Structure formats: structure tokens, C-alpha cells
């Protein structure tokens, strides 16, 4: 039986461990923190419970795939589809709801923003078709060798080449499609789902909208942490061993082949290692003497985040599980994040409240607020100063919009910033998704799921192919394990 180590118990590492164990490997997961989940984790502040990391759950079929692989009943994974996934708020007082029902959604865009419903319906249909053609080729398949993607899937995808708008940015396509700047802002926002800039990212990424607006947004019954908690249990059932509070210090190799890894507690022999750690940190910290793919690792990094976790002594009927308060100058926001690496003067604010559906996450009459703004990666900025500045701005903007002095309603508080992300979750410079997708070749610049120079070394998670977000992290594990199986045979 082949002995395989997985470095990191984030969602990519958990999925890889499950698949490896089902394929007959003896699997051990090493996690520096005290529990599984990575960024998908719990935070308890007094009587308030918060999801710490990813908050939007789409494409549950990829979780279901793991259950079915293990011959487990997916109906035990309780979740619901949100009828109104998002509430949007604009600076001039405009408010609108994003419905999961297509007819209601089209009507809302027409009534509130004056958009042509037929034009919007066509846009969403194109996003769905693009996603369905691209997914089998790029998202569910390795790009490591030409033979793996030179097939009928490529031919089908190439037939839609004009629809991908490869030479346009997301914003350029949205500007041609929609008459209202507010509509463009809503659709440009999907670039942030993989930490990118809609004014630079290719228009093909507009297909991300399909997952939320056509497929739907879901909420696990016990919050987002349910995803990793259940996958951890699934891994245990397959015989996976876990070493918590045991940080890996080095992956050791001999003659360009993985031989094992070293922690402060022991040296372990393994036939293969799967790293769920940020790929940049994997090379920098765990493989310091090995050759590095400099062209990939020096690409522009994705954005980071600053999150305020607030226990709020009030309830707001106008808010939903997911809420977005847009700034008036979206281009300036992204210039700050990616060009000047400074805190935006007027960032858009995302507010996530699970107690809207899971009432036990907050005491009666109160709410648990996850309040996030997009910020640049850590390059040595004064984050203490940025935290205070961001907090003041957020409180002022939300208080004005909700007609309340929010500062007097906060009972509990915790703040996460890029420095915390880098130190706790080992995201290089606090980057959430590794490389950004700010050019049309970005998909090809992501690190592959198997090393080209070290036999037995594999990579999973949001910083490698196919990219950021829960669905893509799950696919990274599938691709990596399938590659491992092929290379063994």
C-alpha cells in the first residue's frame, strides 16, 4: 500500500485525502492548526457563532460526488437553496434583490435598473453555456500535458470561441451589454470571487455569474463550516489519519523524488506528498533548495480581505444572508487594491449574516455579522492604521444606509486582515487565491497539480489549477489524485 501525506486540512486537502484513501493509499494529513477546515472555520465570540472564511456556497454537486464515491448517502448533508441570495444597496439609495427564480430576477433588473429582460436572459444563457463547455476542459481536467485536453471536449469548447470574448475584459463586455452602470457593477463583482480585477480580467470570467444566478446559492444547515466538518468525518471513515497541531517544516526529496517530510515532532517516510499549502509557500518554506517555477510564482497575486466579525445587538429586516453595499467608484477601488496596494478610500462592503437562516448563530433579537472589504495583499503596509480607517468608514456607511448608529450595537468584535491570513492559513502575502486572473492567459499560468521536476509531489487547493473558490478547490483534488493514479500505473 502506497503511503501518501497531505499537507494541510483545507477543503482541497480533505478532498484529496478522501480520494486517495478510496484509491487504496495509506493517507496521513498534517495540519498546523488544531482542527480541519483551513479558511472554512468557526469563530465563537460570546454567544455569537461566525463562519470565518468562504461564505457563498455554490455547486453542491462536487460535495455530492465525494459522498457517492464513498457510498454514503448525500441526503444526510442538509442544506437549502436561498430564494433571495443577495440584497444589493447603492450609494444613491437604490436597493434591489437578486432572486433565484429567473423570472423574478429579470423583472427586478427591469423594474429597479431599467434593463432589458430579454438582453439579460440572453447574457445569463450565454454564461451558462460557456460554463458548461469550459468546465469539462479547464475546470475538471488537467492542463499539464497536451494529450489530456486535446480531445472532443476541446473541439466542443472551440466551437464557442467567439462567445468567450478573449480579447475583452469583464467590464468591457458588461459595458456593451448593460445600459445601467449599476448592473455593470453587479456583474463586475464576480471577478472578486477569485480575487481579480474586472477591469483587467478576461470577459470569459463573466461565466462565474452562472453559478450564483442560474445554478443558485445554497446554505448548509449548520453554516459553511459544515462542509469541512462533514468532509473530515468522511475522511475518517475512509481510514485517513490526521496529525493536528503538527506543522510540516520540510518535504524532503532524493534524486528528484519525494521521500517524505519533516516536522518538529518526527521525520516521516512517504511515497508521495500532496500539498494543500499555498503553492508559493510550499516552494519557499517546504522545498527551499528545489528549483522553483519562477514564471508562475511571480505572477500578480489575488486580492486579500479584511473582515470584521461583529456580534450585533439588533435585527435588520432589510438585510438577507448575503448583502452588498457598493461604492460609487468601483474602478478606483480596484486600482487601490492592485495598482497602488493601498486601502481603498471608499471600498464596497459585503455583509454576511447566517443567523437570518440559522437563528441559533446569534442570541434572540441579535445578529452575527461577517463584514468584509477587499484589500491588497500585505506588502508591509500599516495594517493597524488601515483597520482603524476601514472600521470608521464601514460604520459610517452602514449606519447611514440602515439609519442607525451601528457603533452602539456592536457587542463582540474580532478582525481578520492579510497579516492574519498569511500567518494562520499560510496564504502568501495574505493572498486568498494565489495568482489573480488579471490577463487572458491566467488560466494557463496557474501551477499544475503535479510537479514537473519532483516525482511524487502534487498540489491541491485554490492557489493551483483550476483556481479559486470551493468548487475549483474540490476539482483540484480530483485532478491531482487522477494524475497520481495515472503516473502510478
Q: Quote the CA–CA distance of 418 and 486 in Å, as a whole number.
A: 38
Higher pLDDT, 140 or 308: 308
Residue 311 belongs to a domain:
no
* pLDDT (tens digit per residue) in 436-479: 999 877 766 789 999 999 999 999 999 999 988 999 999 999 99
110 shares its domain with 182: yes
pLDDT of res. 143: 63
Instruction: Among 147-151, 301-305, 390-394, 420-424, name the one with the lowest average pLDDT.
Output: 147-151
pLDDT of res. 159: 53
Number of structural domains found in the chain: 2
Residue at which a domain ends, from 192, 215, 238: 215
If residue 227 lies in a helix (H) or strand (E), which one and from where to where?
A: helix 225-237
Asked whether residue 30 carries a pLDDT value surpassing 80, the answer given is yes
The answer to whether the CB of 105 falls within 8 A of the CB of 98 is: yes
* pLDDT (tens digit per residue) in 131-172: 888 777 677 677 655 555 555 555 455 554 454 556 799 999
Q: Model confidence at 88, in pLDDT bands (50, 70, 90)? A: very high
Q: What is the DSSP letter of 300?
A: P
| String of DSSP letters for 73-120 | -GGGS-EEE-SS-EEEE-TTS-EEEE-SSHHHHHHHHHHHH---HHHH
pLDDT of res. 212: 93
Coil, strand or helix at 149:
helix
* pLDDT (tens digit per residue) in 97-137: 999 999 999 999 999 999 999 999 999 999 998 888 877 76
Residue at which a domain ends, from 162, 183, 215: 215
443 shares its domain with 295: yes
Share of the chain above pLDDT 90, in %: 86
Q: What is the mean pLDDT of the chain?
A: 93
By residue range, what is the domain housing residue 23? Answer: 3-39+223-299+439-488
Q: Model confidence at 43, in pLDDT bands (50, 70, 90)? A: very high
186 shares its domain with 109: yes
Residue 73 belongs to a domain:
no
pLDDT of res. 445: 74
pLDDT of res. 294: 86
Q: Model confidence at 298, in pLDDT bands (50, 70, 90)? A: confident
189 shares its domain with 249: no
Q: Give the CATH number for residue 288.
A: 3.50.50.60
> Cell numbers at residue 452, please?
514537473
pLDDT of res. 350: 98
120 shares its domain with 193: yes
* Angle, CA of 416, 91 and 198, to the nearest 5°: 65
Residue 478 belongs to a domain:
yes
Residue at which a domain ends, from 215, 245, 262: 215
111 shares its domain with 176: yes
Mean pLDDT of 322-349: 98
Amino acid at each position: 500500500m502506497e503511503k501518501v501525506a497531505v499537507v494541510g486540512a483545507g477543503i482541497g486537502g480533505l478532498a484529496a485525502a478522501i480520494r486517495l484513501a478510496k484509491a487504496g493509499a495509506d493517507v496521513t494529513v498534517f495540519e498546523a492548526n488544531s482542527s480541519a477546515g483551513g479558511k472554512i472555520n468557526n469563530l465563537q465570540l460570546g454567544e455569537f457563532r461566525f463562519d470565518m472564511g468562504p461564505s457563498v456556497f455554490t455547486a453542491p454537486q462536487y460535495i455530492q460526488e465525494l459522498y457517492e464515491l464513498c457510498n454514503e448517502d448525500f441526503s444526510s448533508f442538509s442544506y437549502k437553496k436561498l430564494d433571495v441570495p443577495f440584497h444589493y444597496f447603492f450609494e444613491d439609495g437604490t436597493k434591489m434583490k437578486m432572486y433565484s427564480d429567473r423570472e423574478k430576477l429579470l423583472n427586478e433588473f427591469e423594474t429597479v435598473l431599467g434593463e432589458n429582460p430579454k438582453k439579460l436572459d440572453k447574457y445569463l444563457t450565454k454564461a451558462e453555456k460557456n460554463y458548461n463547455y469550459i468546465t469539462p476542459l479547464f475546470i475538471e481536467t488537467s492542463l499539464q500535458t497536451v494529450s489530456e485536453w486535446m480531445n472532443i471536449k476541446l473541439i466542443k469548447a472551440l466551437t464557442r470561441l467567439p462567445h468567450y470574448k478573449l480579447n475583452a475584459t469583464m467590464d468591457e463586455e458588461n459595458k456593451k451589454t448593460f445600459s445601467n452602470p449599476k448592473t455593470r457593477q453587479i456583474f463586475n463583482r464576480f471577478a472578486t470571487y477569485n480575487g481579480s480585477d474586472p477591469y483587467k480580467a478576461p470577459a470569459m470570467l463573466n461565466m462565474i455569474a452562472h453559478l450564483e444566478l442560474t445554478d443558485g446559492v445554497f446554505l448548509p444547515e449548520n453554516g459553511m463550516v459544515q462542509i469541512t466538518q462533514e468532509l473530515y468525518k468522511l475522511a475518517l471513515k475512509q481510514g485517513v489519519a490526521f496529525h493536528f497541531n503538527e506543522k510540516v517544516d520540510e518535504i524532503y526529496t532524493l534524486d528528484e523524488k519525494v521521500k517524505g517530510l519533516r516536522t518538529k515532532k518526527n521525520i516521516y517516510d512517504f511515497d508521495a506528498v500532496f500539498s494543500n499549502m499555498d503553492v508559493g509557500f510550499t516552494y519557499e518554506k517546504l522545498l527551499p533548495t528545489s528549483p522553483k517555477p519562477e514564471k508562475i510564482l511571480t505572477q500578480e497575486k489575488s486580492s486579500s480581505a479584511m473582515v470584521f466579525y461583529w456580534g450585533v445587538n439588533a435585527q435588520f429586516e432589510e438585510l438577507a444572508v448575503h448583502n452588498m453595499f457598493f461604492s460609487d467608484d468601483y474602478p478606483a477601488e480596484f486600482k487601490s487594491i492592485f495598482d497602488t496596494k493601498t486601502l481603498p478610500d471608499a471600498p464596497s462592503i459585503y455583509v454576511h449574516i447566517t443567523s437570518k437562516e440559522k437563528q441559533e448563530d446569534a442570541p434572540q433579537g441579535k445578529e452575527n455579522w461577517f463584514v468584509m472589504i477587499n484589500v491588497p495583499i500585505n506588502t508591509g503596509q500599516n495594517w493597524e492604521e488601515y483597520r482603524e480607517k476601514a472600521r470608521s468608514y464601514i460604520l459610517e456607511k452602514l449606519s447611514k444606509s440602515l439609519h442607525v448608529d451601528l457603533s452602539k450595537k456592536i457587542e463582540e468584535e474580532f478582525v481578520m486582515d492579510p497579516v492574519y491570513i498569511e500567518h494562520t492559513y499560510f496564504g502568501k502575502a495574505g493572498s486568498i487565491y494565489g495568482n489573480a486572473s488579471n490577463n487572458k492567459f491566467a488560466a494557463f499560468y496557474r501551477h499544475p497539480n503535479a510537479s514537473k521536476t519532483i516525482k511524487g509531489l502534487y498540489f491541491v487547493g485554490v492557489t493551483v489549477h483550476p483556481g479559486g473558490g470551493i468548487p475549483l478547490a474540490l476539482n483540484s483534488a480530483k485532478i491531482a489524485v487522477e494524475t497520481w493514479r495515472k503516473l502510478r500505473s
